[in-house]
Amino acid sequence: MDPRTAAYLAAGLGMGIAALGTALGVGWLSSKALEGMARQPEATNNIRTSMILAIAFVEAIALYALVVALILATKA
């Protein structure tokens, strides 16, 4: 396998795995936040704020993976 093909494959697989992990993380966070809101409605604002902050951190992982994938794809 030539280096260009390997770089494209690594970029695609890396971004795909990162996107899958991010989707699972956001889904799990949202599920648990909604469960917490249903159990304690008075804490809804605190739970929502924490959920949004956590989702932002999880989404940052996908952005880092995108940057690495673009670097891999353009350096090949």
The pTM of this model reads 0.82
Instruction: Please report, for the domain that includes residue 19, its CATH number.
Output: 1.20.20.10
Q: What domain range is 53 assigned to?
A: 3-75
Tens of pLDDT, residue by residue, the chain (76 residues): 898 999 999 999 999 999 999 999 999 999 999 999 999 999 999 999 999 999 999 999 999 999 999 999 998 6
- The sign one gets for the Cα dihedral 66, 16, 13, 8 is negative
Structure tokens at 30: 């949202």
What is the C-alpha to C-alpha distance for residues 57 and 34, in angstroms, rounded to an integer? 18
Please give the tally of structural domains in the chain.
Answer: 1
Structure tokens at 71: 């670097």
C-alpha pair distances (Å), 74 with each of 12, 39, 53, 69: 13, 49, 32, 9
Tell me which residue has tokens 């770089």: 7
